[in-house]
Structure 1
Amino acid sequence: MAEIAMTRAEVAAFIEREYARPQSNKVLHTHPSPMYWRANDGHTEKRWKKRAELAKQNKFSDNLYLGVPFCIPTDPAHCGFCLFPTQDYRGRSQITDYLDYLEREADMFDGMLAHDRLASIYVGGGTPNLLRDGEYARLISIAAKLYGDVAPTIEKTLEGIPQLFTRDKVDAISRAGFNRVSMGVQQLSDRLIRYSGRKQTRQQVMDALSFFNEAQLACNVDLIYGWPEQTVDDMLFDLGELVRSGVRHITHYQLNIAGRSDFSKSQRDVLPSLDETIDMYRESVRFLTANGFRQATVYDWERVEPDTNGRFRFEGAEQYQYETHLRRLLEAGDDGMVLQHMIGVGYAAISLPPSTWAGDDGLNWMQMNHRSLGGYYGAIDSGVFPVEKQFVQALPDMKLAWLFQQMQAMTIDLEAYRMVFESDALVEFAPVWEELAAREWIELANGSIRFVDIGAFHIPMLQALLSQTRLRELREEPAGAPGSRRIVPIHEMT
């Protein structure tokens, strides 16, 4: 079971204690945080081979992540806020060497994904649009090496920053087979973007959007609210510019204030207050809803009304299949249930390849590749998968991971949870739902729990609340201890 071992009074006390603390987005690695993962136990290849055998009888649908770690150095480092592992870009030879190793890692799978269906590709990092023209096609060929084929119709997204998107580069990205780009803008204002140390201008953003339109590439734009010195008017001006440009997908998320980032350590005195940040969230919801956008997740917005000017109306422009698939543990296919997986290849890449969602014979684990280039290269040179750490899930972890992903979409499907886990989420976490309903942060209707108003804003805090009991157990467990429902150790697999 995964019941929360807290009374409603304790739930209320947790919320009051954590309410005013800066939130850190928990979606990046689902549950649990990598701080709870174990050092590489040497069984990665056995796990993948066992999974390959299971794929012959089960239907696996994969979201493939290819990592490109290099970023242009900034002052402050990591653009002041980024918590992703990255490497400073020092020259062309870095990328050439890295792509060689990326291909060598793909070779290690040697047909292990051949029975999977490739659902989407996402190339992230890092700054993937640092690559040269011919190298984008090489990324697609690495995907083909893993899966045998890359259908032209699947979503293929490449991340990048505005100042590196020239018309020629965008054309090369399109020719290589990519049909979607995700551009990290963060702020349109030249005055505010300076806090990141980026050499980026509003005009470069608008030029890049024009290039995407000409090349018929679907586009997502990332914006951050709660930024140093930002006001509600600053935020609404940026959103208005994007709405008028015809962009059909906007990722609008709260600034992460966590870890050892410069914004966390040195810029807190110029950040908006919590009340101002909540006001930004509410005003952005009102503005985007009024302008024909639908809130797909806490931070993803899709244009749903017809675009009369005809711009950015390309296949996938209003969708983000890579992330949409990750929100679902499974989906109904024409010939049965299909399990959704995330397969990560490259520096610091994450894989979430569970093979079943329950059962004593499940093979459910998460893994992270090395976060140092030396470690990544050294493992591949030694002929082993470049995994730094992994976590083998027990049933409570699978439940929480599923709930975390559903919460990002602001709705928990209670019937789906019951079907998957043969238990009742309303009962297991009853004190939480009772307290949130009393605060009018959730609504219960039509077999679902829907997060509303600042209940949606505070989802990272509420994810931490739901996982309190299990995280306490993990802190007390010795390495290798079984969870509340046993997962078969790798050495017992036949």
Structure 2
Amino acid sequence: MTATSVYVHFPWCLKKCPYCDFNSYGTARDDVPHDAYADAVLRELDARRAQLEGRTLVSIFVGGGTPSLWDPRALGRVLAGIEGAFGARVDDVEVTVECNPTSLDRARAAAMREAGVNRISIGVQSLDASRLKFLGRLHDAPMALSAVREARREITRVSADLMFGMPGQKAQDFEAELDRVLETGVDHVSAYALTIEPGTQFGELHKKGRLPVAPDDDYAETFLAAESMFASRGLEHYEVSNYARPGQEARHNLHYWRGGDYVGLGAGAVGCLGDGRGGARRWRDEALPAKYLESSGELARVESWEESLSAEDRVREALMLGLRTREGVDLDALEARTGVDARVGRERAIERRVGRGELVMEGARMRVPHASWLALDAIVTDLF
């Protein structure tokens, strides 16, 4: 049985943030087609049943958009359908839903728990009024902290997302915000640097020279300061942008970083399943919600794009993703999955990086030590 995760994409939000390059569409709460969208996702799931044979469900992640806008009853139908579609599942399937403070309170958290959700990730992003305005967020700091506290009264596993690397933001500013978030008792925090993506509002402004950006030195200083503060509070740095108390790591994300198979459902969702020969097939569903809703579950109409990955493609992706984690990459397991020994052809690059202390080889396990995480992109590029 092949361990498999499921990603469900919910494409609607109340307002598209200027930095967001995800498949999301701002809409009024009353205009979200809750049941129609659940029906469409379930039709797609039914069309993929043959792909699920011989697979064990290990996690479900509902991302967006803002999935906390979705009526919990409709969400619950989808979650139940997914669990029922697999012939086997682990005893403690992790079910995560992304939430925004503007659509999360204790009642909504309780309803999601009843629907089968056992972990939520809250997009706090910042607790500073000026930075929240800069990011185009609709909540304020009290609303964000209240959402975290109220959610924790109903769902044990709660994660908070925070962003740093904004213009004018110093390490001590981020530390102050982080301190307030950690006071809520969350056991997991994702701390991401603001990235300017092409095609976003920020991307267009940056291209025209009208968007200030933080210098790299500020990023590095904040990254290291945050790591120190998390450690002092008992949260371990287990992936470049993620921190957790022991045992509270995001299992869905770990499955992805380890190169595991995953099914994508919903408008714009991406899936990737191994082909049994070392390669894989990756696809993306129709991104426009209206077209997705009209697809009737026929995969030829649901999918808008696909590609075949060779075994070497999968090895490169496994290195790119796995070296972001504290545990690194098990090269023997990777070879068993792909038929490719990742060490072959990379001997000189590995020797060079090991000699510099930027790469560690522990038997068949390759990892980048924490001290070199700021140079991770260059290290991974060298291994390509």
TM-score (norm 1): 0.70
DSSP 3-state at the match of 1:252: strand
Find the counterpart in structure 2 of residue 401 from structure 1: 317
Whether the 8 Å contact between 1:192 and 1:229 is mirrored in structure 2 is no
Tell me what 2:257 maps to.
Answer: 327
Structure 2: how far apart are the matches of 1:218 and 1:299?
18
What's 1:104 paired with? 43
Is structure 2 residue 24 aligned with structure 1 residue 86? yes
Write the distance in 2 (CA, Å) between the matches of 1:454 and 1:82.
Answer: 30
> Aligned letter for 1:119?
V
Unpaired stretches in structure 2, ≥5 consecutive residues: none
Structure 1, residues 80-104: CA drift from partner, whole Å, max 9, x if none? 2111111222453432332222222
Letter in 2 for 1:351: G
Alignment partners' CA distance in 2, 1:342 and 1:381: 18
How far 1:319 sits from its partner (Å)?
A: 2.3
Q: Is the 8 A contact 2:47 2:297 kept in 1?
A: no
Distance 1:442 1:261 in 2: 35
Distance 1:382 1:61 in 2: 25
Name the counterpart of 2:306: 390
1:327-366 → structure 2 map (5 Å cutoff): 327-329=257-259, 340-356=260-276, 358=278, 364-366=280-282
In the aligned structure 2, how far is the partner of 1:286 from the partner of 1:160? 27
Shift of 1:414: 3.6
Q: Decide which of 61, 69, 75 is 1:130's aligned counterpart.
A: 69
Partner residue in 2 for 1:457: 374
Counterpart of 1:230 in 2: which secondary structure? coil
The match for 1:210 among 149, 154, 177 is: 149
Report the secondary structure of 1:259's partner residue: coil
Give how far 1:437 is off.
Answer: 4.1
Superposed displacement of residue 145, structure 1: 4.8
Number of equivalences? 379
Q: Please give the alpha-carbon distance, in whole angstroms, between the structure 2 residues aligned to 1:385 and 1:138.
A: 23
Give the aligned residue type for 1:187.
Answer: S
Closer, same or farther: CA 167–436 of 1 in aligned 2, 3 Å: same
Cα pair 1:282 1:453 within 8 Å, conserved: no
Q: What is the alpha-carbon distance in structure 2 between the residues aligned to residue 291 and residue 91 of structure 1?
A: 38
CA distance in 1, matches of 2:371, 2:236: 17
Deviations 1:85-133, CA, capped at 9 Å, x for gaps: 1122245343233222222212223454254211111111110011234
Return the alpha-carbon distance in structure 2 between the equivalents of residues 419 and 347 of structure 1.
Answer: 33
* Larger Rg computed on CA atoms: 1
Assess if the C-alpha contact under 8 Å between 1:70 and 1:126 holds in 2: yes
Residue segments in structure 1 that go unaligned for 5+ positions in a row:
1-58, 305-315, 330-339, 468-494
Give 1:165 deviation, angstroms: 0.7
**Letter in structure 2 aligned against 1:265:** E
Aligned counterpart in structure 2 of residue 197 of structure 1, from 122, 136, 151 = 136
- Alpha-carbon separation, structure 2, partners of 1:149 and 1:219: 26
Residue 348 of structure 1 and its aligned partner are, at CA, apart by 0.7
Instruction: Report if aligned partners of 1:83, 1:261 keep a CA contact under 8 Å in 2.
Output: yes
Equivalent-residue separation in structure 2 for 1:270 and 1:172 (angstroms): 41
Q: Distance in 2 between matches of 1:173 and 1:160?
A: 11
| Aligned residue number for residue 441 of structure 1 | 358
Is 1:111–1:146's contact at 8 Å kept on the other side of the alignment? Answer: no
For residue 159 of structure 1, report the CA deviation from its aligned partner: 0.6
Q: Deviations over 1:354-384 (max 9, x none)?
A: 14363xxx6x211111122244234337674
* Structure 1 counterpart of 2:123: 184
1:299-342 alpha-carbon deviations (Å, 9 max, x no partner): 111123xxxxxxxxxxx7x121111122334xxxxxxxxxx410
Give me the whole-angstrom Cα distance separating, in 2, the residues matched to 1:133 and 1:379: 23
TM-score, normalization by structure 2: 0.89
Cα separation, 1, equivalents of 2:321 and 2:201:
28
Comparing 207-216 with 411-420, which one deviates more in the overlay? Answer: 411-420
Counterpart AA for 1:83: D
1:414-433 equivalence runs, <5 A: 414-421=331-338, 424-433=341-350
Give the direction of change, closer, same or farther, for the CA distance of 1:377–1:203 in structure 2 (3 Å limit): same
Residue identity in the other structure for 2:255: H
> 1:463: how far off?
4.0
Q: Does 1:298 align with 2:240?
A: yes
* 1:117 corresponding residue in structure 2: 56
CA distance in 2, matches of 1:151, 1:320: 15
Measure, in 2, the Cα distance between the counterparts of 1:382 and 1:119: 26
Alignment partner of 1:242 is 2:242: no
Give 1:297's aligned amino acid. E
Distance across 2 between alignment mates of 1:444 and 1:271: 37
| Partner residue in 2 for 1:371 | 287
- Structure 2 SS opposite 1:322: helix
What are the superposed Cα offsets for residues 433-479 of structure 1, whole Å, 9 maximum, x if unpaired? 34434554333444433323563234345445544xxxxxxxxxxxx
> In structure 2, do the counterparts of structure 1 residues 443 and 384 end up closer, same or farther at CA, with 3 Å as the change threshold?
closer
Letter in 2 for 1:141: A
Structure possessing the higher relative contact order (Cα contacts under 8 Å, 6 or more residues apart): 1
Q: Which has the higher strand share?
A: 2
Amino acid at match of 1:233: Q
% identical aligned pairs = 21
- Aligned to 1:352, what secondary structure does the other structure show? strand
Alignment RMSD: 2.6
